Amino acid sequence: MTAAPTYIQVLLPVKLRWIPTYRADMPLQAGRRVCVELGRRRYDGVVWRTLERPDLPPERIQPIVAVQDELPRVTAEELRFWEFLSDYYLCTLGEVYKAAYPLLKLRSEQTAADILARLQQRLARKEEQLAGRHGERVMQRLSAERDALQAQLAACRAQSGSADKPGRPAPGKPLVLTAAGRREAYLPALREALAAGRQALVLTPEIAFCDRLEALLAPEFGQQLLVFHSGKTPVRRRAAAESLRSGSPAIVLGTRSALFLPYRDLGLVVVDEEQDAAYKQTDPAPRYHGRDAAVALAGIHGARVLLGAAVPSLETLLNVRLGKYDLADGPAAAPRAEVIDLAAERRKNGLVGTFSRKLIDAVRRTDGPVVLLRGWEKPEPLQDEIAALFPDRSIRVLTLSALKREGASGAALLAVLQADALVSRDDFRADERAAQIVGTLCQFAPRVIVQTAVPARFDAARGTDALLDERRQFGFPPYTRLVEFRRQGSGEVVERHFLPRDRSLAARKAALAAALPTGTYPDVDPLD
């Protein structure tokens, strides 16, 4: 008697507003990997769910091509995380799957599957040899070789098919750290996670921050520290994924792509520089925010959350106000820079080209390295100005992104020639960005000078409480949620919708997604 077919929905790494249904000859649980056909193309898919009744006539439902047991299963926690990203950021599950398992990652997994197949073939040949007649010494050697192959095979299978661990309730509220030594404060929490046999994630906005944190963490945690970002080779990244999949206690240090790794028992999530705009994915979908996605991932796993920033985002500070987050040691004093008003200096003939006379004097009086940050200035004319004004000094000129990447090499003075260029847009987020930029700069040098045409924007005396009150008065985020419709290709904003931050939010977002104009895409919580 033929067994009744099983009907399953299968996620494919393509943008589909629906989840295709297929037929299988055996029960398949969510997370199993299968090969299927769609539109005459074959795809590596993931079983999303089993259907009691198919949503199509059975004769119209295609069978799967194959079950891919050689590929690791996707965990229940991964699937829940994908669903959160799809629902909140108004994209398809297929787009999330493609981000989580890009082509290079799939090829890397196939390489691991090929290794598994070769081990099985070698073991079969070794068993055939053992079945023959041999002397005692040869039999001992063949037996030892067989045992070694069996051990390798068992290790590979354990990595690709270890059981999901049950989720745990989140241990308290996220904790916000603002003190100067906050990175050192990560260490005891990381030790505690490893001692409990759990895994930890330390997220950074850019590779440069990864490199600096690696210098802090590597001496302490050695081989238990797994660094994961686009600068690492596919082999290194696959090894990190396999280590996590096996359930081994480990610390992952990475950029936002590390959110998609197959954690088995995540006990701690640290988001360093949580205010940094680089956490926001712009293209392609899912256009998620790494900090908010990390907090959601921690909730799925029952993991503790630490958020670190010299000047936290207003979103985080509002959560502190509302009692959703805790602030360690009370509010820290905002980092301060010396502000030079370019308009005032111009009125009193206090400018020499790009430089104010105040900045020229500060550079000449500084004992130690000086780093200048340029904005709109062209490099070649600027170097000519520097050579004329400071003929006896070697001065580094960097952009903000280069500063984050390379550091300031022990600079005694860090000066911004035109700070307004770093804010990029004059919108409701400009004052918040300015405060956060100053906070970032103050981490690189003991003295920071900012030249600006809008001095009030960079004045630390205007605290975050005032900024939050202003946002509430005008109905701007974080008191509302912003959804923009942007034109495909150019990214031009076509429509902006400020939605109430209440129980109606999900329904309102879904209604917006249903009314999306042709040729546009939604961007939830945009930062630029």
Of 52-56, 232-236, 350-354, 438-442, where does mean pLDDT reach its minimum?
52-56
Average pLDDT, the chain: 88
pLDDT of amino acid 161: 47
pLDDT of amino acid 267: 97
Q: What is the mean pLDDT of residues 82-101?
A: 96
Residues 95-147: pLDDT tens digits?
999 999 986 454 555 555 556 566 667 767 767 776 777 777 767 776 776 77
pLDDT of amino acid 115: 63
Q: What is the pTM of this model?
A: 0.85
Give me the half-sphere count of Cα atoms (radius 13 Å) on the Cβ side of residue 482.
17
* Rounded-to-integer distance, Cα 33 and Cα 35, Å: 7
The answer on pLDDT for 163 being more than 50 is: no
Copy the structure tokens of residue 95.
């787009």
Structural contact between residues 496 and 482, judged by C-beta atoms closer than 8 angstroms:
yes
Q: What class, spelled out in words, does domain 175-327 have in CATH?
A: alpha beta
pLDDT of amino acid 306: 97
* Rounded-to-integer distance, Cα 226 and Cα 249, Å: 11
Instruction: Indicate the pLDDT class of residue 423, thresholds 50, 70 and 90.
Output: confident
- Asked if CATH classification 2.60.200 holds for the domain at 338-462, the reply, yes or no, is no
The answer on pLDDT for 279 being more than 90 is: yes
Q: Which residue has the higher pLDDT, 375 or 301?
A: 301
Q: Which CATH architecture has domain 6-101?
A: 3-Layer(aba) Sandwich (3.40)
Q: Which residue has the higher pLDDT, 52 or 159?
A: 52
Instruction: Indicate the pLDDT class of residue 151, thresholds 50, 70 and 90.
Output: low
CA angle 21, 24, 25 (to 5 degrees): 160
Of 55-69, 137-151, 340-354, where does mean pLDDT reach its minimum?
137-151
Residues 456-479: pLDDT tens digits?
888 877 788 889 999 999 999 999
The answer on pLDDT for 354 being more than 90 is: yes
pLDDT of amino acid 112: 55
Instruction: Indicate the pLDDT class of residue 335, thresholds 50, 70 and 90.
Output: confident
For residue 509, give every residue at least 6 positions away whose Cβ sits within 8 Å of its Cβ, in sequence order, or none. 88, 90, 481, 483, 499, 524
Instruction: Indicate the pLDDT class of residue 162, thresholds 50, 70 and 90.
Output: very low
CA separation, residue 40 to residues 6, 37, 45, 62, 444 (Å):
22, 6, 15, 12, 55
For residue 267, give every residue at least 6 positions away whose Cβ sits within 8 Å of its Cβ, in sequence order, or none. 193, 196, 198, 199, 200, 301, 302, 303, 304
Q: Which residue has the higher pLDDT, 357 or 527?
A: 357
Copy the structure tokens of residue 247.
């359930």
The answer on pLDDT for 350 being more than 80 is: yes
Copy the structure tokens of residue 204.
């950074």
Residues 27-50: pLDDT tens digits?
999 999 999 999 989 999 999 999
* Rounded-to-integer distance, Cα 432 and Cα 311, Å: 9
